[in-house]
């Protein structure tokens, strides 16, 4: 039941039907009895800028941005915070009453929060991290790992030039390799789309990883990827991509709707049920 004062937010994407964000934010809105709505907003790339400006003028508090709009959103913002600047893209927008648009990237934050939840005791300072992939999501995660004190970050990507460009943008203790070694790692991250439903699995032998290593997958369909199954079978701590999806949503929800939401088993089960369909 919305009143005339209802707070409004949504997710812009093209297409957007696959997005789980309306279900996720809708769960929190209902849990907290908030007078507000979070809508799926399908917007073609050529209409993106016009649509965002219109939302800001229509009294929306803000929006999430998903594929393929994250870079366009970055370019459109009046201000982007340090994390978003480092990632070169934004996934969360905040609108001022004067139509001002501010942006940030919460994927890296969501990733770190998810590891802290699913592998308690892990810290970015524990040791070297290897990330497979160099796409948009990896940009945000790599920046977050470095900001949290990761002492050595190794990037490996099918297209090495993309990893090299990211390493240059990031600065700090970052290196690029085409033959990644797993011994001595504190963290291994799959940031590619390999292992996703309909894609080939990630071919990797986890045997050389130390028993203390954490293996994290950004893929969340399926929830248990072959990579995570192999990690668990070896007794390693495994972190799925759903946690990242749930946690990246928290900062936006809090600012738009005025309540700090929590990620718990009930929310997880509610969103996971939708992934199984």
Ligand X SMILES: NC(=O)c1ccc[n+]([C@@H]2O[C@H](COP(=O)([O-])OP(=O)(O)OC[C@H]3O[C@@H](n4cnc5c(N)ncnc54)[C@H](OP(=O)(O)O)[C@@H]3O)[C@@H](O)[C@H]2O)c1
**Count of residues that bind ligand X according to CB under 6 A:** 24
Q: Is the dihedral of CA 252, 257, 258, 262 positive or negative?
A: negative
At residue 27, the 3 state secondary structure works out as helix
**Cα gap 263→265, rounded to integer Å:** 7
Is 27 within 8 Å of 51 (Cβ atoms)? no
Active-site residue (options: 7, 25, 70, 85): 70
50 CB burial (10 A radius; 0-12, 13-18, 19+): exposed
**What does the per-residue mask of binding to ligand X show for 51-80, with x meaning CB under 6 A?**
------------------------------
Nearer Cβ to ligand X (10/110): 110
User: Is 70 part of the annotated catalytic residue set?
Assistant: yes
Interaction of residue 133 with ligand X, rule CB under 6 A: yes
45 is in an annotated binding site: no
Q: Give the neighbor-by-neighbor strand order of the sheet with 7-13.
A: 36-42, 7-13, 62-65, 92-95, 101-104, 79-80
157 is in an annotated binding site: yes
Nearer Cβ to ligand X (56/166): 166
149 is in an annotated binding site: no
In order, the DSSP letters of 30-66 are HHTT-SEEEEEEE--GGGHHHHHHHHHHTT--EEEE-
- Cβ at position 153, least distance to ligand X in Å: 15
Q: Which of 107, 225, 231, 256 binds ligand X (CB under 6 A)?
A: 107
Q: Which of 244, 263, 267, 271 binds ligand X (CB under 6 A)?
A: 244
Interaction of residue 12 with ligand X, rule CB under 6 A: no
213 is in an annotated binding site: no
136 is in an annotated binding site: yes
Structure tokens at 95: 């609108």
**Cα gap 107→181, rounded to integer Å:** 26
- Cβ at position 41, least distance to ligand X in Å: 18
Is 83 within 8 Å of 143 (Cβ atoms)? yes
- Cβ at position 203, least distance to ligand X in Å: 10
Report the interface residues with ligand X, using CB under 6 A: 107, 110, 133-138, 157-159, 162, 191-194, 196, 218-220, 241, 244-245, 248
- Residues at the annotated binding site for NADP(+)? 133-137, 157-162, 218, 241
């Amino acid at each position: 039941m919305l009143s005339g004062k209802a707070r409004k937010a949504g997710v812009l994407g093209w297409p957007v039907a696959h997005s789980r964000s309306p279900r996720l934010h809708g769960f929190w809105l209902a849990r907290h009895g908030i007078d507000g709505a979070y809508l799926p907003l399908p917007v073609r790339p050529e209409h993106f800028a016009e649509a965002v400006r219109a939302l800001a003028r229509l009294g929306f508090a803000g929006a999430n941005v998903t594929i393929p709009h994250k870079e366009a959103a970055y370019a459109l913002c009046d201000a982007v915070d340090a994390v978003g600047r480092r990632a070169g893209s934004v996934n969360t927008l905040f609108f001022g009453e004067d139509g001002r648009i501010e942006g940030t990237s919460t994927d890296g934050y969501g990733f770190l929060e998810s590891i802290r939840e699913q592998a308690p005791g892990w810290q970015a300072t524990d040791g070297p991290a290897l990330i497979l992939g160099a796409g948009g999501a990896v940009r945000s995660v790599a920046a977050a790992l470095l900001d949290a004190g990761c002492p050595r970050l190794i990037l490996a990507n099918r297209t090495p030039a993309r990893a090299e460009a990211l390493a240059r943008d990031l600065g700090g203790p970052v290196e690029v390799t085409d033959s990644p070694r797993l011994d001595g790692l504190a963290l291994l991250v799959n940031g590619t789309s390999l292992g996703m439903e309909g894609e080939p699995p990630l071919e990797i032998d986890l045997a050389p990883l130390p028993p203390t290593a954490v293996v994290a997958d950004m893929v969340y369909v399926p929830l248990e990827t072959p990579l995570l199954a192999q990690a668990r079978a070896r007794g390693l701590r495994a972190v799925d991509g759903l946690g990242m999806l749930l946690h990246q949503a928290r900062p936006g929800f809090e600012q738009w709707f005025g309540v700090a939401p929590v990620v718990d088993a009930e929310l997880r089960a509610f969103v996971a049920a939708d992934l199984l369909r």
